[in-house]
Homo-oligomer: A and B are copies of this chain.
Amino acid sequence: MRISELAEATGVPVHTLKFYLREGVLMPGTATSRTRAEYGPEHVERVRLVRGLVEYGGVSVEGVRSIVRALESPPPSRPELLGVAHATLPAGPTRGEVSAEVAALVDDLGWQVWHEGPPVAELSSALEAARGAGVPVSPEALRRYARAMEAVAEVDVDVAAAAASPTEALHTVVVGTVMVDPVLVALRRMAQEAVSVARG
């Protein structure tokens, strides 16, 4: 298909597709002449991925570029997969050092995590910000939140393990981590309603 048909198939204006091509988040089509190129279903898929990441994942175009680069590279081995995935994903704001409460939590839960990794720093900063905003998270509440997210991660790992190939597994982990976050946020709000009603 030509660029105008790709635009029609995805609902994204031609101009925006050109922009994505320029920014390197959409791979070029196969040129049929100096001023003509052919696009296929993989381009449709890619455009939907880009839009999903930008609109729902809040990922910048530069972040998307780093993600699609990773998806196009030879996939890492199983144990390295998460490290690569988390290094690829755009990190939230981080400021201070890793707080003692996070170290205590990790220790308490028996989690084996990379203490210098982005998620640990992000958690410290997020807790600090919540405290500053007047909503301190008690150690007890934090523990219960962590247990719940462990259950989420169990699902994540199950889904990734079901992937047919390493390439697909990487795609599932990277894209799934970003795109499922808004799903969880919505579910949390719905669950708040449900629990609140159930408590009467």
Contact = CB atoms under 8 A, between A and B. Distances in A.
A106 B198 CA distance: 14
A156 B191 CA distance: 10
Interface stretch (A14-22, A31-39, A168-176): A168-176
Given A86-B189, A194-B112, A180 B137 contact: yes
Contact of A183 (B109, B130, B155, B156): B130
A118 to B, nearest CB: 8
| Number of copies of this chain that the complex holds | 2
A166 to B, nearest CB: 14
A151 B153 contact: no
A53 interface: yes
A177 B189 contact: yes
B93 A172 contact: no
Nearest to A56: B129
A119 interface: yes
26 contacts: A49-B133, A51-B132, A56-B125, A56-B129, A56-B133, A86-B193, A111-B190, A113-B194, A114-B193, A117-B190, A119-B187, A122-B182, A126-B185, A127-B183, A129-B182, A130-B179, A133-B179, A141-B155, A145-B152, A145-B187, A146-B187, A146-B191, A148-B148, A150-B191, A153-B195, A177-B188
Interface of A: 45, 48-49, 51-53, 55-56, 58, 79, 81-82, 86, 92-93, 106, 109, 111-114, 117-120, 122-123, 125-127, 129-130, 132-135, 137-138, 141-142, 144-159, 161, 171-173, 175-177, 179-199
